[in-house]
Amino acid sequence: MLRSADPAVQAQGAYGLSRLGAGAQPAVPALTEALRSKETLVRENAALALAQIGPDAREAVRALTELLGDPEWTVRRQAALALGQIGPDARAAIPALIALTQDRDHLVRKAAQEALAKIRR
């Protein structure tokens, strides 16, 4: 589903994987690739799925960190939440998350602060 040419199918596939939680760990490479989609909902749902996978999604840290600069606030927020769920293995994202604490959107700032707290534990 994530490799479909139809963005709606990709978004649904990523959302479906988010419902599996840690059981979706084998899909981490495909979800990481989906983070590069041009479609906002695909990026957002892929980050959501990675957040639900949690620490086993650590190979996506670099791609999620890049997503912190996304033009869509919902995507930035979800990427920050995903990094927080990955936890201490997402330490490389700390500088970008610190910068995100100055974001213009309150929900993004809050997500960045929560992620930093979880990563620093």
Segment 70-111, tens digit of pLDDT:
999 999 999 999 999 999 999 999 999 999 999 999 999 999
Q: Please, what sign has the CA dihedral across residues 90, 111, 14, 73?
A: negative
Q: How is residue 86 written in tokens? A: 């990955």
Task: Say whether 12 sits in a helix, a strand or coil.
Answer: helix
Q: Which residue has the higher pLDDT, 19 or 74?
A: 74
Flag whether 1 is in a domain: no
Flag whether 60 is in a domain: yes
Alpha helices for the chain (secondary structure H) = 7-18, 28-34, 40-53, 61-67, 73-86, 94-100, 106-119
The answer to whether the CB of 121 falls within 8 A of the CB of 88 is yes
CATH label of the domain that carries residue 108? 1.25.10.10
Whether pLDDT at 31 is above 90: yes
Flag whether 2 is in a domain: no
Q: How is residue 20 written in tokens? A: 């599996």
Tell me how many domains the chain contains.
Answer: 1
Q: How is residue 12 written in tokens? A: 């649904």
Give the global pTM.
0.93
Distance between CA atoms of 62 and 92, rounded to whole angstroms?
A: 8
Structural domain for 62, as ranges: 7-119
Distance between CA atoms of 49 and 24, rounded to whole angstroms?
A: 8
